[in-house]
Amino acid sequence: MKQLILLIYFFISISGFSCKETTVQNQVSVVTPTEANKVLQDKAIQIIDVRTPSEFAEGHIKNAKNIDFMASPSFTTNINTLDKEKPILVYCRSGKRSNESVKILLNAGFTKIYDLEGGILNWKTKSLPIVID
């Protein structure tokens, strides 16, 4: 009887962890530039470029807000000014900083995050539009 109870507890525990992982996967989508361009049709989307200000000035996606990932702890402070219920597209130069940013966004409570695969470099290879300030 004791073994049966332990076995049931074990399966319930495993299924609980699986549900949590599924929820995180549903909150984050790594998208190609083409997919990201379609996502940008949603007027509610927030676009965050996590590169440095000088990188941002060299060219960025239209309507993107520059929140420098390397400028901790102000990065966390700045993302907390955004609407956590609205979808967010995050990108950097090649994908490393945006990947790290996604972890912080999840911890901050954002509900739908799109991470641009390959960053702005990949975006440019698809000849998608950029804005230069």
Catalytic residue among 48, 64, 88, 92: 92
According to DSSP, residue 130 is labeled: -
d(CA 99, CA 93): 11
d(CA 11, CA 68): 43
**Helix residue ranges per DSSP H, 28-111:** 33-39, 53-57, 74-79, 96-108
Active site residue 92: yes
Task: Please state the separation of Cα 51 from the chain's center in Å.
Answer: 14
Cα dist from 34 to 25, 121, 130, whole Å: 20, 13, 14
The residues annotated as belonging to the active site are: 92
